[in-house]
Amino acid sequence: MFNSNIPEGPLEKKWEEYKGHVKLVNPANKRSIEIIIIGTGLAGASAAASLGELGYKVKTFCFQDSPRRAHSIAAQGGINAAKNYQNDGDSVFRLFYDTIKGGDYRAREANVHRLAEVSASIIDQCVAQGVPFAREYGGLLSNRSFGGTQVQRTFYAAGQTGQQLLIGAYQSLERQIALGNVENYSRHEMLEIVKIDGKARGIIARNLITGELERHFGHAVLICSGGYGNVFYLSTNAMGSNVTAAWKAHKQGAYFGNPCFTQIHPTCIPVTGDHQSKLTLMSESLRNDGRIWVPKKQNDTRKPNEIPEEERDYYLERRYPAFGNLVPRDVASRAAKERCDAGYGVGSSKQAVYLDYESAIERYGKIECRKHGIDQPSAAVIREHGVAVVKEKYGNLFDMYAKITGEDPYSVPMRIYPAVHYTMGGLWVDYELMTSVPGLYSLGEANFSDHGANRLGASALMQGLADGYFVIPYTIGNYLANEIRTKPIPTSDPAFVAAEKAVADRLSTLKNINGSQSPESFHKRLGKIMWDKCGMARNEAGLKEAIEEIRALKAEFWRDLRVTGDINEFNPELDKAGRVADFIELGELMCQDALQRRESCGGHFREEMQTPDGEAQRDDENFSFVAAWEYKGDSQWELHKEKLEFEVAHPTQRSYK
């Protein structure tokens, strides 16, 4: 069961060879094979569209009111691809290498290389769908830089790249729905995986409008339900983003890979108070042109514009001259935390640093003035032209900042602080994206596969679409070719009946606790434990405390929860209660994983393990493995280790200096 199924042969030939020999399902047989897809974000929608086009009978499920709402839509900055359109030395190998290194050597080489190989086709596909990427005046596609790389390989559509890519995938999905190849179930939540003879054979879903439970059969089930950052309560995820689908899969036997690997994004709008329900990201693309600084003096209360240039500490440029403001996210986040903890933070909470656009506005303004033949322009004219350029590139982000904070980021530097953003961990999958349960797959952020211990910017969109458009259409055939004789199993089968009963019992238990505290209040408390003890910095004592606190919280939850409304109606409180219950269990596993990984790598920073200058200190000898956790019962897991072999990208101390 625990085999990563990486094809033999040299790294750069593996995927080509695999595709040449993988089993196929003929078109007539595809028509009688049913596939269930949970989640309609980039991974789910692209998989559903592609599998529908191939002729499979597909069903998609999402909890939102339309597939187009999935949280991929909020991705801002861009999508990477090894096109080398800029002639700046990019290649499949560079993208592969940057991703492995950026992930601090905790990802599988074969998966990452395949990701880099298919990256270029994603851009081609999206343009063919009509995705309006940013272009140069000559009509060619434009690129920008993201963290952890020294080439310009990021394609973008203003600060709304995720929206445009998702709409492209959504439109392809809607086309397949119109053609009758895909049936979509919006406002439905998957609450159980149905297994028959050890294989995934369907799901139990709840219609969120009527509260009815439904049984759906599938020859295979794909979990594309995104990440679990909301375990921290405050994150850049959407309010509805949850771990429930992945957690149900985990409890049915799918191993959970590297749960403690979470990404704290360095540039988010800081928390303002207890009422805060979510955090808002300011795209990493802003670090292309913005400069990050804090005052050189501790507890400086002057306004930013009153602090002269020589009294500002551009600490990223100082510490990491080679990459400057474009160091990877984990490095930038820790550096911000370090400055704030040392007393150099700004704003009323002192938990913020400045992201400043003044020099970019001046630089762009001068270029524009030259372009327009304005001789000896005044500072005001330069500024006016510079602001126009910045507006075009980042306008929607600046507007969002202004609405949330009430400040004008064109004239006052933005205040930013790190926040939970992405989870590299997720369901363990093999090379074919199959979990440890046969017939159960996981794609996109929901799986653990490609980003190691830290994801590079603009790589999430790439991975979601790679998995859906270009990987699963090939790999799923290798499994389904052996299923062509399996007739659809009637949902009256005892396995479906039992699974539905288990779901109904759990809902009724949640509803009938009749305690006094809301699901929201438990979620908030869980989030605080996770952020304080399993967040940007972790240590043994803290993690042990966190595990105890989470267990106590779990007991209290099942004793004192209050769910208003009824089971058989539209009831967001009940939906939320189920999700919080799953987050609590996941939170414990994350702490267990963080505790066993006695090294620092990527976003996982164990305070006990750091270099003298405060960088993450890996321990390749003992921890060069994927932690794959098997569920064994309440608060019990068994750790399996998948050894990571590096044949091409040999692990070194990651340096961005």
Partner 1 sequence: MEHYTMNLTLKVWRQKNKKDKGGFETYTVNGISSEMSFLEMIDVLNERLVHEGKDPIAFDHDCREGICGMCSMYINGRPHGPWEGTTTCQLHMRAFKDGDTIVVEPWRANAFPVVKDLVVDRSAFDRIIQAGGYISVNTGNAVDANATLIPKDDADAAFAAAACIGCGACVAACKNSSALLFLSAKVSHLALVPQGNPERKSRALDMIAQMDKEGFGSCTATGACEAVCPKEISITNIARLNAEYGRAGLTIDK
List binders of partner 1 among 235-254 (CB under 8 A).
236, 238-240
Q: Tell which positions 360-399 bind partner 1, by CB under 8 A.
A: 399
Residue-wise DSSP of 270-296: PP--TT-----B--TTHHHH-EEEEES
What are the tokens at 592? 């267990």
Query: How many angstroms separate the CA atoms of 395 and 402, rounded?
Result: 11
The correct pick among 311, 407, 532, 638 for binding partner 1 (CB under 8 A) is 407
Tell me: does residue 180 bind partner 1 (CB under 8 A): no
109 CB-near residues (< 8 Å, 6+ apart): 11, 96, 100, 644, 645, 646, 647, 648, 649
Tell me: does residue 539 bind partner 1 (CB under 8 A): no
Tell me: does residue 629 bind partner 1 (CB under 8 A): no
Q: Tell which positions 64-83 bind partner 1, by CB under 8 A.
A: 64-69, 71, 73-74, 83
Minimum Å gap between C-beta 178 and partner 1 is: 4
Which range binds partner 1 by CB under 8 A, 25-33, 48-56, 306-314, 444-452? Answer: 48-56
Minimum Å gap between C-beta 101 and partner 1 is: 26
Tell me: does residue 186 bind partner 1 (CB under 8 A): yes
Side by side, the strands of the sheet bearing 636-643 are: 426-427, 256-257, 625-633, 636-643
- Which one, 514 or 636, has the nearer CB to partner 1? 514
On the CB side of 641, CA atoms within 13 Å amount to 11
The correct pick among 177, 220, 420, 543 for binding partner 1 (CB under 8 A) is 177
The correct pick among 22, 127, 481, 504 for binding partner 1 (CB under 8 A) is 127
Tell me: does residue 135 bind partner 1 (CB under 8 A): yes
> At CA 291, angle to CA 289 and CA 292, rounded to 5?
140
Q: Tell which positions 586-625 bind partner 1, by CB under 8 A.
A: none
- Which one, 189 or 599, has the nearer CB to partner 1? 189
Tell me: does residue 4 bind partner 1 (CB under 8 A): no
Tell me: does residue 133 bind partner 1 (CB under 8 A): yes
- Which one, 281 or 429, has the nearer CB to partner 1? 281
Tell me: does residue 570 bind partner 1 (CB under 8 A): yes
Query: How many angstroms separate the CA atoms of 157 and 121, rounded?
Result: 18
DSSP SS3 for 175: helix
Query: How many angstroms separate the CA atoms of 263 and 418, rounded?
Result: 10
Q: Tell which positions 323-342 bind partner 1, by CB under 8 A.
A: none
DSSP SS3 for 389: helix
CA end-to-end distance (rounded Å), the chain: 42
Q: Tell which positions 191-220 bind partner 1, by CB under 8 A.
A: 209
- Which one, 193 or 268, has the nearer CB to partner 1? 268
The correct pick among 178, 371, 376, 380 for binding partner 1 (CB under 8 A) is 178
- Which one, 39 or 102, has the nearer CB to partner 1? 39
Which range binds partner 1 by CB under 8 A, 270-278, 362-370, 490-498, 503-511? Answer: 270-278
Query: How many angstroms separate the CA atoms of 83 and 98, rounded?
Result: 15
Tell me: does residue 281 bind partner 1 (CB under 8 A): yes
Tell me: does residue 280 bind partner 1 (CB under 8 A): yes
Tell me: does residue 564 bind partner 1 (CB under 8 A): yes
Site string for partner 1, 469-488 (x = CB under 8 A): xx--x---------------
State the sign of the Cα–Cα–Cα–Cα dihedral 400, 401, 405, 411. Answer: negative
Tell me: does residue 283 bind partner 1 (CB under 8 A): no
Tell me: does residue 569 bind partner 1 (CB under 8 A): yes
Q: Tell which positions 24-43 bind partner 1, by CB under 8 A.
A: none
Query: How many angstroms separate the CA atoms of 213 and 190, rounded?
Result: 10
Tell me: does residue 160 bind partner 1 (CB under 8 A): yes
Tell me: does residue 57 bind partner 1 (CB under 8 A): no
State the sign of the Cα–Cα–Cα–Cα dihedral 453, 427, 234, 154. Answer: positive
Q: Where are the beta strands (DSSP E) in 588-635?
A: 625-633
> At CA 580, angle to CA 437 and CA 435, rounded to 5?
10
Query: How many angstroms separate the CA atoms of 243 and 252, rounded?
Result: 14
Enclosing H/E stretch for 417: strand 414-423
Are 625 and 641 spatial neighbours (Cβ–Cβ below 8 Å)? Answer: yes
Tell me: does residue 415 bind partner 1 (CB under 8 A): no
